[in-house]
Chains A and B, each alone.
Chain A
Amino acid sequence: MLQHGPRSEFLGGVRAELPLLLGVVPFGLIFGVLGLAAGLPAWAVVVSSFLIFGGASQVVFAQLWGAGTPPVVTAATVGVVNLRHLLYSAAVAGYLRELPWRWKLLLAYLLTDEAFAAAIGRLRDGPATPYRHWFLFGTGFTLWAGWQASTLGGVLLGTAIPAAWSLEFSIPLTFIALLVLSVRKRSEAGAALAAGFAAVVLLAIPHKLGLLAAALAGLAVGLALRRLDEDAA
């Protein structure tokens, strides 16, 4: 077997991704359950994992759709939630430049937080061989398969869980966990607090547009508070 052949790179990516599935599979199970709790039909929960393929944004989609939000506002919010993938796209673009379009399209579809996190070290620090994109394919495919399977499992579990368990509350709980993981600086905590305050104040704005306005307010406050970080960083 070639040391840096397609097969060995792909398997290297699979091995790098497997430990991350420990966190992803339970999240997929939970998404399957709470997608139903938010009011999506079972088929839509499964199809959203295939079409949208982004954990937090799928939770947002389920929640907004369940609340009867207009599709344009829902899509805009999903787009904002996934905007961070711009950074991943920019970070891997240089390594994929010479590839044919079918590879670029495939790897873009598979470019998630966890696939990126597990592959960027290999791309940046490993040898610049012609098959290194197979490593990213390995991490991306492994995560994709784990996510689809666990969502399906969650949907099967979820149909057996009664509404009295208030499982829809696991949606904000998921976001609280993601928020704590994403906040490393004081200004970022400030952005979250400001956005949360604004979201409650702006609740009366129709069509959940207050949500986007509140996110923008949080963004502005975070940027304004940047100088707070200098002594903390």
Chain B
Amino acid sequence: MSTTALLMAMAACGALTFAIRLSFIAFGNRMPDDPRFLAVLRYVPPAVLGALIAPDVFAPGGQFTATADSPRMWAALVALIVARLTRSVLATIASGMAALWALQAMAT
């Protein structure tokens, strides 16, 4: 059951993604020039990413734990700074994980 459910969920997500990619190609339309459409699309990535990041950093496990000794918060800050400086996904992940491990090692 759970295998089927997982497979169905992935297939649904894949179908939805495919439909988005096919949309304009299928009907041969040109770029829509409605500025409101373009403006809304522009804010989708930052809004979604912001909503995904914050709970993992400030409330891991579903509980708000943003105290000064929260290793995830400081590690995320390190990663944010490295991301701005390097604009590299790899360097961001590497520095954030290194910071998390260092802080966890110091706490124990």
The CB with the most chain A CB atoms within 10 A, among B8, B41, B50, is that of B50
Q: Residue-by-residue, is B37-74 near A (CB-CB < 8 Å gives 1, otherwise 0)?
A: 01111111111111111111111001010000000100
- Are B12 and A75 in contact, with the CB atoms below 8 A? yes
The CB with the most chain B CB atoms within 10 A, among A87, A94, A197, is that of A87
Q: Residue-by-residue, is A112-153 near B (CB-CB < 8 Å gives 1, otherwise 0)?
A: 000000000000000000000000000000000000000000
- Are A90 and B31 in contact, with the CB atoms below 8 A? yes
Q: Residue-by-residue, is A166-192 near B (CB-CB < 8 Å gives 1, otherwise 0)?
A: 110111111111111111000111011
- Are A169 and B29 in contact, with the CB atoms below 8 A? no
Q: Do A175 and B17 form a contact, CB below 8 Å, given A108-B22, A222-B47?
A: no
Q: How far is the CB of B102 from chain A (nearest CB, A)?
A: 12
Chain A residues touching B, majority SS: helix
- Are A94 and B43 in contact, with the CB atoms below 8 A? no
A80 to B89, CA, bound (A): 21
A80 to B41, CA, bound (A): 10
Asked if A71 is at the interface of the complex by the 8 Å CB criterion, the answer is yes
B residues sitting closer than 8 Å to A (CB atoms) are 5-14, 16-18, 20-32, 38-59, 62, 64, 72, 75-76, 79-80, 83-84, 87-90, 92-93, 96-97, 100-101, 104
18 further contact pairs, Cβ within 8 A, besides A90-B32, A169-B56, A172-B57: A27-B89, A82-B20, A85-B17, A87-B41, A90-B29, A94-B30, A108-B26, A167-B97, A179-B53, A179-B83, A180-B87, A188-B43, A191-B43, A191-B47, A195-B47, A200-B54, A200-B58, A222-B46
